[in-house]
Amino acid sequence: MSDKIFELIKQEEQRQKVGLEMIPSENYVSKNVLKALGSILTDKYSEGYPGARHYGGNEIIDQIETEAQRLACQLFGVKSAIVQPYSGSPANLAVDLGLVEPGGVIMGLSLSSGGHLTHGAKASFTSKIFQAIQYEVGEDGKINLEEVTKLAQQHQPKLIWVGLTAYPYTLDFAGFAKIAQSVGAYLVADISHISGLVAAKVLPSPVQYVDVITTTTHKTLRGPRGAMILITQKGLDKDPQIVEKLEKGVFPGLQGGPHDNVTAAIAIALQEASQPQFKEYAEQILKNAQVLAKQLETKTENHLLLLDLSMYGFGLGYQAQIALELAGITVNRNTIPHDPASAYYPSGIRLGTPALTSRGMKEEEMVKIASWIKEVLEMLKGFDLPQNQPERKDFIKEFRSQMKENLRLKEIKKEVEQFAAQFPLPGVTDE
């Protein structure tokens, strides 16, 4: 019954129109990106690479993929681009598989310190296939390169990841390059969160320091849900076979046929990101994040905030996510460095400004949004996470029930709806 699905899609569109999406990995694409995603390219099968397909009828598809590669190389200043990865996690695994033998040593920032699952976390297959060594942030919440150096010297990794998913500070690509060179490791920058900001030149680029770059295309780059693997001149100098190794890591290593509709949408997003107005957009993301951080009494050097809720009580991340969502503000619960609670019921929340900025919101709006967030967080006092683990599930259920009946939360939700409705969703409304 497709009618039911289309009705649910309309409901989701309405939810987004009257809500505030503040998960920093979410954004809004243009109407042209949506057109490509829903195009007839969805129907084609194109296993292989341009000029070397395993299926016929790919003359035009080859041109689309080649154009996407060209645009990626031009925008980021790299020598080669693979645009077929289905998403960021398989792109990262393909890099590991392409450059490191199973059982080899890889290094990455721990999940609890703001790294990604695929940088060697225990829950990820990357730690099961490889010997994964994790470095962590210090008490100041920042990466200590001296500690990274000690770990690298001790474990001699074949590949080092430098990247973030919940790390609100600037990455020292030059410092990591020295460490990687000292042990002969490949250096790979995962810039999935900041690739749009790097492309717009409002954050430092890793291109001159790393061998390989991975990025999703659906965060600050404002593209479809896909990913790219970019190879630098430094990477080619280190390993002349690196492109072939990485291509084989993607196909046939992990994937079959690429999603040609996504490839076309990536090309459109890359072209859009090369325009002057995109730089203005990226600059506004950072301005908005700075204002939001100041209002919420935290710090950031990029687009995201990691908010420690310990001042309100113990283990309040899940409760904050629930309460804010009931108020029409979407964030995600997140561990903080050295979290005293747990990964599932953490002590913090992660939020950011890319999606709000895409809707045209600026500094004044951030002040207003921060006031709502602070008011909701004050409601969490007294709702500490039970220390006894078996009690937590029922506690959360009761907390959710109480919050649904909270009259002020209902009022805030109405205020948020009226506020958000003034800022259209780009892909739904632009021409």
Catalytic site residues?
45, 47, 190, 216, 219, 225
3-state secondary structure of 113: helix
**C-alpha dist (Å) from residue 422 to 102, 176, 351, 359, 381:** 52, 44, 21, 9, 32
What angle (nearest 5°) sits at the alpha carbon of residue 112, between those of residues 312 and 223?
100
Report the run of H or E that residue 161 belongs to, with start and end.
strand 159-163
3-state secondary structure of 149: helix
Of 319, 383, 381, nearest to 345 by C-alpha is 319
Cα(216)–Cα(281) distance, integer angstroms? 18
Contact of 80 with 243, CB cutoff 8 Å: yes
DSSP result, 174-187: HHHHHHHHHHT-EE
Of 404, 406, 366, 389, nearest to 286 by C-alpha is 366
DSSP result, 336-401: -TT-SS-SSS-SEEEEESHHHHHTT--HHHHHHHHHHHHHHHHTTTT-PPPSSGGGHHHHHHHHHH
